[in-house]
């Protein structure tokens, strides 16, 4: 009991015994409480700013994707066209489209994309059409002569989404519905598909 008494006396000796010291201690405690309140207010403001900035970043990212999609709207990728040095990609495409679709294509620009393959596989040709109607007639056909395939020029994000939704698109097609992937969204018979 004596050791407890001594330790409690020692503990009590830490607190000031006169009124001035107690008043000083209360003043310091109030100052610390005010500083903590001020810090909490600043933390709340910073959290609000972070939330606001995160929303602005998301909005900016969506606008960027929208602009990139828009810039690729008239583009098509052509696969399995034999590659040769010094080739004129526009002339090659006009020949293929003219023979398969009896269409005089107005192509603004066309060039090969991607690195050379060691196995000799020809690189795809990226073509920008001037007329939406021509673009539509070519993309509707999809498979041209000699194994030439045509696809949209999707941005990377849309390409990944389309890969994820491929099984849903296949099921819809097999059920007699019309799946359509457009600007990062899947439509089935004109209705937006909710994943």
Query: Burial level of 167, CB count in 10 A (0-12/13-18/19+)?
Result: exposed
The pLDDT value given to residue 182: 86
Report how many domains make up the chain: 3
| Same domain (yes/no): 55, 96 | no
- CATH code, domain with 143: 3.30.70.1820
| Same domain (yes/no): 81, 125 | yes
- Supply the range of the domain harboring residue 160: 154-195
| Same domain (yes/no): 79, 149 | yes
Look at residue 10 and tell me if it is in a domain. Answer: no
Look at residue 126 and tell me if it is in a domain. Answer: yes
DSSP for the chain, written as a single string = -HHHHHHHHHHHTTS--SHHHHHHHHHHHHHHHHHHHHHHHHHHHHHHHHHHHHHHHHHHHHHHHHHHHHHTTTEEEEES----TT--HHHHHHHHHHHHH-----EEEEEE-SPPPTT-PPPPEEEEES-HHHHHHHHHH-B-GGG-EEEE---HHHHHHHHHTHHHHHHHHHTT--EEEETTEEEETTEEPP-
> Which residues of the chain fall below pLDDT 50?
1-6, 8, 11
The CB density around residue 177, as the number of other CB atoms within 10 Å, is: 14
| Same domain (yes/no): 96, 137 | yes
The pLDDT value given to residue 4: 46
Look at residue 84 and tell me if it is in a domain. Answer: yes
One-letter-per-residue 3-state SS of 46-96: HHHHHHHHHHHHHHHHHHHHHHHHHHCCCEEEEECCCCCCCCCHHHHHHHH
Global pTM reads 0.69
| Same domain (yes/no): 122, 159 | no
Mean pLDDT of the chain: 87
Look at residue 11 and tell me if it is in a domain. Answer: no
């Amino acid at each position: 009991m004596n050791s407890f008494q001594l330790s409690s006396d020692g503990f009590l000796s830490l607190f000031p015994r006169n009124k001035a010291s107690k008043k000083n201690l209360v003043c310091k405690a109030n100052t610390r409480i005010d500083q903590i309140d001020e810090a909490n207010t600043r933390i709340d403001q910073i959290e609000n700013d972070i939330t606001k900035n995160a929303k602005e970043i998301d909005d900016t990212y969506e606008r960027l994707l929208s602009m990139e999609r828009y810039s690729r709207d008239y583009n098509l990728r052509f696969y399995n066209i034999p590659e040769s040095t010094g080739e004129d990609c526009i002339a090659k495409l006009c020949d293929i489209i003219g023979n398969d679709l009896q269409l005089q294509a107005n192509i603004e620009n066309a060039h090969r994309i991607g690195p050379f393959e060691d196995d000799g596989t020809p690189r795809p040709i990226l073509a920008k059409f001037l007329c939406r109607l021509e673009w539509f007639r070519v993309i509707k056909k999809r498979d041209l002569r000699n194994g030439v395939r045509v696809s949209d020029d999707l941005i990377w994000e849309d390409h990944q989404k389309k890969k994820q939704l491929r099984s849903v698109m296949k099921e819809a097609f097999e059920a007699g519905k019309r799946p359509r992937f457009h600007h990062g969204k899947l439509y089935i018979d004109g209705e937006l598909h909710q994943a």
